[in-house]
Structure 1
């Protein structure tokens, strides 16, 4: 059973940083597959990537601890569904709208997740 939330289940999510479109692409990552934003453990705000976070705030990133992977900290920029970290780490695409995620993002998982 997946633990994603449809857009109607929660508040409107604000994505911060230098986004370039309404699907959460940013000036750093803007391919057709770059459609997620991450809620950062350190501040609770959504940013498209760690570079956007670094350019926007004055505090360091802290990774999500493994015991928090049930937290809905991933936003699909296409359909605005939030996913738990666990579900995101196992997904190749959004479970709600089937939009594919960038497999290259896995290179940065150690920045975001323990």
Structure 2
């Protein structure tokens, strides 16, 4: 299994952070601007590159979402169509993340 470095205020090995740490807060997102994984927008704001850019629609085939349980790396399109479950290990993701789509991905 490939190892991924997730940056930010991580509190466990399943990518939960000080901002989002419920049972289902188990994804990290690779930010388009710096190509680094963070658990959330707030973590990126605190310790990221300082130049926030969302993923453009024409790059939704890029692998940019990481399951914190099995470390499966998904494309943005795969994540978008996942119904908030990992396609590899079937762990449940937080459906509330969909409310913040525009912080990470172009609408």
Local SS of the residue matching 1:73: strand
- Deviation by residue 1:1-54 (Cα, 9 ceiling, x = unmatched): xxxxxxx3xx42100001000000000000000000000000000000000000
Q: Which residue of 2 aligns with 1:15?
A: 6
Rounded to whole Å, the distance in 1 between the matches of 2:25 and 2:37 is 14
1:110 maps to 2:93? no
DSSP 3-state at the match of 2:80: helix
Distance change in 2, residues 1:64/1:30 (3 Å): same
- The answer to which structure, 1 or 2, has the higher relative contact order (CA under 8 A, 6+ apart) is 1
Matches within 5 A, 1:46-65: 46-65=37-56
Paired with 2:48 and 2:62, the residues of 1 have a C-alpha distance of 22
Residues 62-81 of structure 1: pairs in structure 2 closer than 5 A: 62-81=53-72
The alignment yields a C-alpha RMSD, in angstroms, of 0.9
TM-score (normalizing by structure 1): 0.89
Distance in 1 (alpha carbons) for counterparts of 2:49 and 2:26? 25
Q: Which runs of 5+ in 1 are unaligned?
A: 1-7
**Count of aligned pairs between the two proteins:** 105
Displaced runs of 4 or more, over 3 A: none
Contact 2:28–2:40 under 8 Å retained in 1: yes
Q: What is the Cα deviation at residue 58 of structure 1?
A: 4.7
2:85 alignment partner in structure 1: 93
